[in-house]
Amino acid sequence: MKKLTALCMFVVLMMGAGLAQADVSPDKIVELSNSGAILAFDKLDETALAQHTNATILDTELEESNSRYIYQVDLRDDKGQEWEVEMDAATGEILKNRQDD
């Protein structure tokens, strides 16, 4: 019975975490960009690339987390090391710049 209770609690917690952070739909991205609520992706990409010399972009993603839009960029530098850069999509502020495991 304790295992079942623990499993149920885990599922509830994971569902809550999913609600707190969700991918933004393509239609919503266009709307946000056109309204000026978020910066243009090319501007955000430039900001991310400026963090690591000669890096290339592997992947990008826009997520909404607690009413804030977060732009995440995965990079690979010229040494083959991968990095994850997260920015506030409205301001371009760097929130996270860490080496990927």
Which domains are delineated in the chain? 22-99 (3.10.450.40)
Query: pLDDT-based confidence at 13, cuts 50/70/90?
Result: very low
Q: What is the mean pLDDT of residues 34-56?
A: 96
**DSSP notation for 2-45:** HHHHHHHHHHHHHHHHHHHEEEPPHHHHHHHHHHTSS--HHHHH
Residue of higher predicted confidence among 93 and 8: 93
Question: Between 84 and 8, whose confidence is greater?
Answer: 84
How much is the pTM? 0.76
pLDDT band at 21 (very low <50, low <70, confident <90, very high): low
